[in-house]
Each structure stands twice: as C-alpha cells, then as structure tokens.
C-alpha cells in the first residue's frame, strides 16, 4: 500500500485540522513577524520607516479585496482546489518577498501574498465546518485556538530573533517549509467539495466589497499614524464608507451575492459576528498597544516585550481545554459574557500599570486576559454557524472572517487614535513623545470595547446553538439557511 493511499484513508477530521491549522498559523505568524522586521527592511532599502509601511498596507488591501470573494471561489471551483492554490500563492509570494531587491518589488510581492491569504482563511474554515458536525465543532474550535493565539504571541519573539540573528528576509523564508509540508499533505489527503449551487460570479459585489473594504482598511491603517485629516486617509475613509453603503443595497437585491448579507438576518449568526468583531478589536488592539508601551514607555527590548505578552497565548490554550468540556452544558452566552467582562477588567487594570510595575505582574495580567479570551473565541467560533446550512457555510465563513479582520483593524486604529489624542499628557513622556496617561487611556478604551461586546453577547440565545451543545443524530440536526 503506497503512501498516497494511506494518507487518503486518514480520518478527514485529522487531515483538515492539520492542514488548516498549519496554514492559518503560517499566515498569522507572517503578519506579526513582518511588523517587527519592518525597520530593518526600510533601512536596507534606504527608505523612511513610514514609507516601509507600504509593505503592510499592500498586504492588507489585497486581503480586503479577496477575502469577501473567497466563499464563492471555494464553492464554485472546489474547496480543496482553491485552498491549495491559495496556499501555493502564499508560499510562492513569501519566497519572492524574501528575495526582493527593492521596496516596490517587496510591496508588489506582498500584494500577491495577500491574494493567497485572503482566500486561504475563509475557505479553510469552511472545510473545517463541513468536516465537523455541529455537535463536534467545539472540538474544531479548540484546535483553531492554537494558531489564532500562539502565532500572534510567538511572532514578535521569533521576528526579533530572526531579524537580529539572520536577516529580515527570514520573516518570509520561515513560511516556506511550513507551507510546503501543508501543501504536500493537503494535496494527497484532502477530499474535494464543490457546491453545485454556487451561482454566477457577482462582479458588482466583488468590486464594491474590495474597493470599500480596501479603502476603509487603508484609512484605519494610515489615520492613526499620519492623522485623520491627511487628505488620502480622509478621502479613503469617506469613499470606503460610501462604497460599503452602496454594497449593502446591491447585495440585498442580487440573487447570488458575493457577500450574503442576509445571513445576518439570523439572530445567532448576527450576534456572534458582532461579538467576534468587538472581541477581536479589544484583544488585538491591546496586543498592538502593549508592546509599544513596554518598549517605548518602559525601555524593554523586543525580546523581553514578546516574552512579557506571550503568557496571553498560554492563557488562551489553558482556557480552551476547560471551555471545550463545559460548553455543551453551559452554552455560548454565559461563557462569552463572563469572558468579555473578565477581559474588560484585565484591560482596565492595565490602565494603572506604571513604569516601575513589576514585569511579572504585567505578564500575569496578559495571562488573565488570555484565559478570558479563550472563553470568547471558542464559544463564538462554535456557535456562530450552528444554524447555517452546509451550502451556505462557504459564504458565511467569508463574511465572518471579513468582519473579524475589520475588527482587528478598527481595534488598532481606535487605540492608536486615543493614544495620539492624549499624547504627552501626564508624567513619564517617552521617546515616542507619549505620556503614561496616553497608554492608560488606550487600555481603558479597549476595556470599554470589551464591555460593549459583553452587552452584545447577552443577545446570544443558547437554544439557537443547541445543535453544537449535545450529540445529535445527523438526520435530526436542524440546518436553517438564511439568505
């Protein structure tokens, strides 16, 4: 019996879990490593650090264009085919990024990399949801906590080591072995799924969603750094809002929209989308702000900063093991509410951390925040798709991931804006010209966002997610498609 035959006989849950987790870990890790390596890239190419931000912006814009369309591509051409193609594009573009000889080349290759990243995550999530029955999805969500929490925490540490000891180019080369292994394993072991009801490609929706989300992402990325009144940031923000408003009108009238906004008509999906948006905004906004505070406000090295924030990932992993076991009895709502309130308390407490506060105490707060975030990520990921039909999973995953990505950008932009407004107010002004009060205001703002998420979690009804809370025979599981 040959190796391909053996691999095809593996449990599909193991195959999809291994391939998707590897790919997701790689894409999330890439984003955090690149941020750390950015100053070295700019210095080598002889450009300002501000100009080097185009490396990040190009990737985010490309991501925003292709993520909404990923559901249709996966349904129409097959989830395995599209996932592997996206993974190949991402790995190939990573190689080219590492070999780039100039900043324009690097930006161009990052845009290509964004195409792969934008298609990869939603299509992979749809594969996971189709492979795991609703009652088993809490297990799948527990698996997904590994890349979504460990990668952001590991990225700054690994990025600092690779950049200092080797070169910034290894921020991209590190993707190659992970990606090639996942690509080979997936090609041999994944099973294809083609959705016969994919419909025609919604060109208007694709253009409007791409241009609208891309413009908003650009404004959210540039506004906090260069000022919201900067002509390009202001124009992009206004244009993006107008295009997204037009998108809503168009997509509600099209028979086969690229973004099935009618899915938001289902209370369970809508509530969980808002919860993941607010939870991600608070969580990743804090993960963005804390390293700045540690390095600029307290003078910590990138490595020490990374090690101080890393307990967050440990907290999520520990919490996920417990939450996965009690979720079937407790349901999503109470876990989400308690988790988001806990996050709010931890973030508000960070508003009292000073320049002489013990490092271990900050690490303990990050660990506590991770514990609470595990109570949010796992139930939300599990419950969101409980009443979504198999045929709609691809589009639902695309919409869910688009909102999560937007939440990340909004969180970073909101905290950056507040920190910028408060500025040098109060004592302890650092090298970046920010006073201690600025960082405190940012942490408190994140706490308010998390508390708002807790209020939204109260609208989640455990009964709507009943299919994920207990083993139910496949022929008795209600699957309701909305839109």
Please, which residues have CB within 8 angstroms of residue 177's CB and are 6 or more apart in sequence?
none
The answer to whether 246 and 208 are in contact (CB under 8 A) is yes
pLDDT bracket for residue 426 (50, 70, 90):
low
Residue 201 φ/ψ region, left for φ over 0, alpha for ψ in the -120 to 50 degree band, beta for the rest: beta
Please, which residues have CB within 8 angstroms of residue 235's CB and are 6 or more apart in sequence?
none
DSSP 8-class letter at 228: T
Residue 6 predicted with pLDDT over 60: no
Three-state SS at 458 = coil
Instruction: Report the alpha-carbon distance of residue 21 to residue 398 in Å, rounded.
Output: 17
Ranges of H-type helices in 263-358: 267-292, 302-309, 311-330, 332-350
The answer to whether 383 and 268 are in contact (CB under 8 A) is yes
Q: What is the model's pLDDT at position 7?
A: 53
Q: What is the model's pLDDT at position 9?
A: 60
Instruction: Report the alpha-carbon distance of residue 109 to residue 36 in Å, rounded.
Output: 18
For the chain, the C-alpha Rg in angstroms (whole number) is 21
Q: Is 88 exposed, middle or buried (0-12, 13-18, 19+ CB in 10 A)?
A: middle
Q: What is the model's pLDDT at position 93?
A: 92
138 or 236, which is more confident: 236
Q: What is the model's pLDDT at position 66?
A: 83
Please, which residues have CB within 8 angstroms of residue 219's CB and are 6 or more apart in sequence?
228, 233, 234, 236, 237, 240
Residue that is written with structure tokens 């209370």 in the block:
267
Report the pLDDT averaged over residues 293-307: 75
Instruction: Report the alpha-carbon distance of residue 217 to residue 221 in Å, rounded.
Output: 6
Q: What is the model's pLDDT at position 343?
A: 92
> Which token pair is 351?
């508003």
pLDDT bracket for residue 427 (50, 70, 90):
low
Q: What is the model's pLDDT at position 4?
A: 57
The answer to whether 3 and 188 are in contact (CB under 8 A) is yes
CA dihedral 422, 426, 430, 432 (to 10 degrees): 20
Residue 481 predicted with pLDDT over 60: no
> Which token pair is 212?
């609208």
What are the Cα distances from residue 304, in Å, to 316, 354, 355?
20, 17, 15
427 or 123, which is more confident: 123
Residue 482 predicted with pLDDT over 50: no
Distance of CA 87 to the CA centre of its chain: 17
Instruction: Report the alpha-carbon distance of residue 118 to residue 68 in Å, rounded.
Output: 8
Q: What is the model's pLDDT at position 278?
A: 92
pLDDT bracket for residue 478 (50, 70, 90):
very low
Q: What is the pTM of this model?
A: 0.79
Residue that is written with structure tokens 């924030």 in the block:
309
Across 37-51, 317-331, 341-355, the highest mean pLDDT is recorded for 341-355
Residue 430 predicted with pLDDT over 70: no
């Amino acid at each position: 019996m040959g190796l391909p035959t053996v691999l095809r006989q593996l449990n599909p849950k193991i195959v999809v879990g291994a391939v998707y987790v590897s790919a997701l870990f790689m894409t999330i890790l890439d984003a955090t490593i690149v941020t750390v390596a950015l100053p070295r890239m700019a210095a080598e190419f002889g450009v300002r650090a501000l100009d080097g931000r185009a490396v990040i912006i190009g990737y985010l814009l490309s991501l925003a264009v292709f993520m909404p369309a990923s559901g249709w591509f996966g349904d129409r051409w097959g989830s395995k085919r599209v996932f592997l193609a996206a993974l190949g594009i991402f790995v190939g573009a990573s190689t080219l990024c590492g070999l780039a000889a100039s900043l324009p080349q690097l930006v161009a290759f990052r845009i290509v990399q964004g195409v792969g990243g934008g298609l990869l995550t939603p299509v992979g999530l749809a594969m996971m949801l189709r492979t795991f029955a609703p009652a088993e999805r809490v297990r799948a969500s527990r698996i997904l906590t590994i890349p979504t929490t460990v990668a952001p925490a590991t990225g700054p540490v690994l990025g600092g080591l690779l950049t200092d000891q080797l070169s910034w180019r290894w921020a991209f080369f590190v993707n190659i072995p992970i990606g090639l292994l996942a690509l080979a394993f997936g090609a041999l072991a994944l099973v294809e799924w083609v959705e016969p009801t994919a419909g025609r490609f919604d060109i208007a929706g694709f253009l409007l969603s791409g241009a609208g989300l891309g413009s908003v992402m650009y404004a959210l990325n540039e506004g906090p750094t260069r000022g919201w009144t900067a002509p390009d940031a202001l124009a992009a923000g206004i244009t993006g809002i107008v295009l997204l408003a037009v998108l809503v009108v168009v997509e509600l009238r099209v028979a086969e929209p690229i973004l099935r906004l009618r899915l938001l008509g289902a209370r369970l999906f809508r509530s969980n989308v808002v919860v993941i948006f607010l939870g991600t905004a608070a969580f990743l906004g804090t993960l963005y702000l804390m390293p700045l505070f540690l390095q600029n406000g307290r003078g910590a090295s990138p490595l020490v900063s990374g090690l101080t924030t890393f307990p967050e990932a440990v907290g999520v992993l520990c919490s996920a093991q417990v939450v996965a076991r009690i979720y079937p009895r407790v349901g999503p709502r109470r876990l989400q509410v308690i988790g988001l309130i806990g996050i709010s308390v931890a973030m508000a407490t960070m508003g009292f951390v000073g320049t002489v506060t013990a490092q271990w105490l900050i690490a303990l707060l990050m660990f506590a925040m991770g514990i609470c975030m595990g109570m949010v990520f796992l139930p939300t990921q599990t419950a969101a798709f409980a009443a979504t039909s198999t045929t709609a999973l691809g589009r639902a995953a695309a919409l869910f991931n688009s909102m999560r990505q937007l939440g990340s950008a909004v969180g970073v932009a909101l905290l950056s804006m507040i920190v910028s407004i408060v500025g040098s107010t109060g004592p302890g002004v650092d090298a970046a010209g920010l006073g201690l009060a600025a960082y405190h205001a940012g942490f408190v703002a994140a706490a308010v966002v998390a508390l708002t998420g807790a209020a939204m979690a109260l609208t989640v009804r455990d009964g709507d997610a009943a299919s994920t809370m207990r083993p139910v025979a496949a022929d008795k599981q209600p699957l309701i498609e909305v839109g």
